[in-house]
Amino acid sequence: MKIIVQKYGGTSVGTPERIIAVAGRIKSYVQKGNSVVVVVSAMGKTTDHLIDLAKQIAKSPSPREMDMLLSTGEQVSIALLAMALHDKGVDAISYTGSQVRVMTDGNFSEAKIESIATDRIMKSLEEGKVVIVAGFQGIDDEENITTLGRGGSDTTAVALAAVLKTRDCEIYTDVDGVFTADPRVVPNAKKLKEISYDEMLELARLGAGVLHSRSVEFAKKYNIKITVRSSFNYEEGTIVMPKEEMMEKFVVSGVTAKTDEAKITIWNLEDRPGIAAKLFGRMGEAKIYINMIVQSTGHDGKASISFTVLKKDLAKAMELAEKLKNELGGSAVESKENIAIVSAVGVGMLSSYGVAGRMFKVLADSNINIEMISTSEIGISCCIDGKFAELAQRVIHQEFVESAA
Ligand code: ADP
Ligand code: ASP
Ligand code: MG
C-alpha cells in the first residue's frame, strides 16, 4: 500500500467550490491506487476571525480556551471535505487531532507534537478510506486540546508522513511552490525547483510563511520529501530535500523578512562579566524568546545592549527590562516596535565571500540604516526600520537573484 500525505491550506479550502475542487484532486490520486491521508487547515481566514472574536470577549483570553476555540476551524473543514468526497463516490472519514491521538506537550498555542498513534488511521486506510485529519491541533496528556502555532497544519502533515513511514508529503497552497522571495512582495521572485532542508528551515524561521518551520525540522529528521505546490493548477512545485541530492546551489536562494519582532535597548549597563548572563537568563526564565542581540563596545565601564523579542511578548519583556536596568546599573530602557529583520539565505554562502558587504551596500544605496546584524553559516540578517521591509527585500533580491541570473 503506497501512502501519500497531502495537506491543503486555508485558501485551498476557502470556499465550498474550493473544497469540491480539492475533493476532485484527491479522487484522482485514489483512482491511481494510492492510499491518501489528507490534512486540512481551517477555511480561508477562519483562524484570524476566531482570534478577533476572542479579543472582543476578553482582553487576555485563557490559553486553554483559546486553543479550544481555534481548533474548531479545522473541525469544520475536515467534515466538509469528507462530505465532498462522499459526494464523488469516494469513501472517506474525518478525524480530529484527539481522535487520532496527536499527542503534544501542554504548551497552548505553540504545542509540540510528541507522538501520533497510527492504528486508527491504518485501519481506515485498510478499509479503503481516504483519511482526513484536522491540521494544527493535538491533545496534551490531560486531554486538553492544544494547537501547534500559526501555520501548524504543515507540521501535522509532515509528522503524519513520518509516523506512517512514507517519504511523500505534498503541501498544497496558493502559490506554485517556494519562491526566491514572497511573490506578493517581490514580483520578480522566481519559483525554485528544489531547496535544501537547511535553507528552507532558515527561511521559514526568518519569516517565509510558506512552510511552518517545525514541519521542515521533522522532514529533515525523518528524511521526508516535501513537495510544495499549488492546489489551483498542476505545475510541478518545489521539492524540499537533502542538500546532497540537489543539482544547483545558489549563493542566495531566498530573501525574506520577519515583522513580528520588536527591539529593546538597555543603555549604559555595567560592563563586567555576568551582566548579559543575568539579563538573558532572566528573560529565559520568563519564557521570553530572544532573537538578535548586539552589545556596544564598552566605554567608561558601561555598555548598552539591544535585542529583539516577539511583539506579543514586548509588554512583558519591557517590564522585566525596566527591573533589570535598575538591578544592573543601566540608565534607560527603550523599545521600538516598527522594525523588520530582512534576511538572505543560501547554502552557496558557505563557499562565497563578499555576500555581507554586497547586502549592506544595496541597503545603504537605498538609504536604509542597519540597526543590528546577525549571521549564520547560510544566512545574513539585518534589523532595519519596519517601513523599509518590502523595499529592502526587493533590492536584496535584485542584487543576488535577478542580477545573478
Ligand atoms: P496555506 O494557507 O496554504 O498554508 P500560507 O499563507 O500559510 O498558505 O503560505 C503561502 C503564502 O506564503 C503565499 O501566499 C506567499 O505569499 C507566502 N510566502 C512567503 N514567502 C514565500 C516564499 N519564499 N515562497 C512562496 N510563498 C511565500
Ligand atoms: N489554521 C491555522 C492557521 O491559520 C493553521 C494552518 O493554517 O496551518 O494558522
Ligand atoms: Mg501555511
Beta carbons of 333 and 322 less than 8 angstroms apart: yes
Residue 294 in any domain: the answer is: yes
Is any atom of ligand 1 closer than 6 Å to the C-beta of 210? yes
Beta carbons of 181 and 203 less than 8 angstroms apart: no
| pLDDT of 69 | 98
pLDDT digits (tens, 9 = 90+) for 335-390: 999 999 999 999 988 888 899 999 999 999 999 999 999 999 999 999 999 999 99
Name the residue at shortest CA distance from atom 4 of ligand 2. Answer: 47
Q: How far is the CA of 28 from the centre of ligand 2 (A)?
A: 26
One domain, residues 153 and 256: no
Residue 372: closest CA among 380, 362, 382: 382
C-alpha cell at 287: 519564557
Q: How far is the CA of 348 from the centre of ligand 1 (A)?
A: 24
Number of structural domains the chain divides into: 2
Boundaries of domain holding 64: 3-174
Q: How far is the CA of 210 from the centre of ligand 3 (A)?
A: 6
Is any atom of ligand 1 closer than 6 Å to the C-beta of 85? no
Residue 361 in any domain: the answer is: yes
Is any atom of ligand 1 closer than 6 Å to the C-beta of 63? no
One domain, residues 153 and 250: no
The backbone torsions φ and ψ at residue 191, rounded to the nearest 5 degrees and listed phi first, read -75, 135
| pLDDT of 405 | 62
One domain, residues 167 and 316: no
Those residues with Cβ within 8 angstroms of residue 323's Cβ, 6 or more apart along the chain or in another chain = none
Residue 343 in any domain: the answer is: yes
Those residues with Cβ within 8 angstroms of residue 209's Cβ, 6 or more apart along the chain or in another chain = 151, 182
Query: Residue 377, Cβ neighbours under 10 Å: how many?
Result: 9
C-alpha cell at 234: 498542476
Query: Which CATH number covers residue 152?
Result: 3.40.1160.10
| pLDDT of 351 | 82
Specify the pairing of strand 3-8 against strand 168-173: parallel
- DSSP string covering 117-186: --HHHHHHHHTTPEEEEETTEEE-TT--EEE--TTTHHHHHHHHHHHTT-SEEEEEESSSS-BSS-TTT-
> Which of 148, 174, 200 delimits the end of a domain?
174
The backbone torsions φ and ψ at residue 104, rounded to the nearest 5 degrees and listed phi first, read -130, 170
| pLDDT of 148 | 98
Query: Which CATH number covers residue 344?
Result: 3.30.2130.10
Residue 62 in any domain: the answer is: yes
Residue 112 in any domain: the answer is: yes
C-alpha cell at 91: 469513501
pLDDT digits (tens, 9 = 90+) for 43-78: 999 999 999 999 999 998 999 999 999 999 999 999
One domain, residues 140 and 51: yes
- DSSP string covering 209-258: TTS-HHHHHHHHHHT-EEEEEESSS----EEEE-GGG-S---S--EEEEE
> Which of 144, 174, 204 delimits the end of a domain?
174
What is the C-alpha separation between 47 and 55, in angstroms, rounded? Answer: 13
Residue 186 in any domain: the answer is: no
Q: Looking at ligand 2, which atom is closest to the CA of residue 10?
A: 7
One-letter amino acid at 392 equals: A
One domain, residues 340 and 258: yes
Residue 23 in any domain: the answer is: yes
| Ligand with minimal distance to 77 CA | 2
What is the C-alpha separation between 303 and 193, in angstroms, rounded? Answer: 47
What is the C-alpha separation between 79 and 102, in angstroms, rounded? Answer: 18
Is any atom of ligand 1 closer than 6 Å to the C-beta of 181? yes
One domain, residues 24 and 140: yes
Residue 391: closest CA among 108, 186, 125: 186
Is any atom of ligand 1 closer than 6 Å to the C-beta of 108? no
C-alpha cell at 188: 520578480
One domain, residues 252 and 362: yes
Beta carbons of 290 and 277 less than 8 angstroms apart: no
For residue 349, the cross-strand partners are: none
| Ligand with minimal distance to 157 CA | 2
| pLDDT of 241 | 92
What is the C-alpha separation between 238 and 396, in angstroms, rounded? Answer: 22
One domain, residues 275 and 163: no
| Ligand with minimal distance to 204 CA | 1
Q: How far is the CA of 14 from the centre of ligand 3 (A)?
A: 13
Query: Residue 351, Cβ neighbours under 10 Å: how many?
Result: 8
| Ligand with minimal distance to 178 CA | 1
Residues of the chain with pLDDT under 50: none
Is any atom of ligand 2 closer than 6 Å to the C-beta of 317? no
Q: Looking at ligand 1, which atom is closest to the CA of residue 212?
A: 7
| pLDDT of 247 | 77
Is any atom of ligand 2 closer than 6 Å to the C-beta of 41? yes
C-alpha cell at 228: 510544495
One domain, residues 157 and 257: no
> Which of 174, 195, 219 delimits the end of a domain?
174
Residue 140 in any domain: the answer is: yes
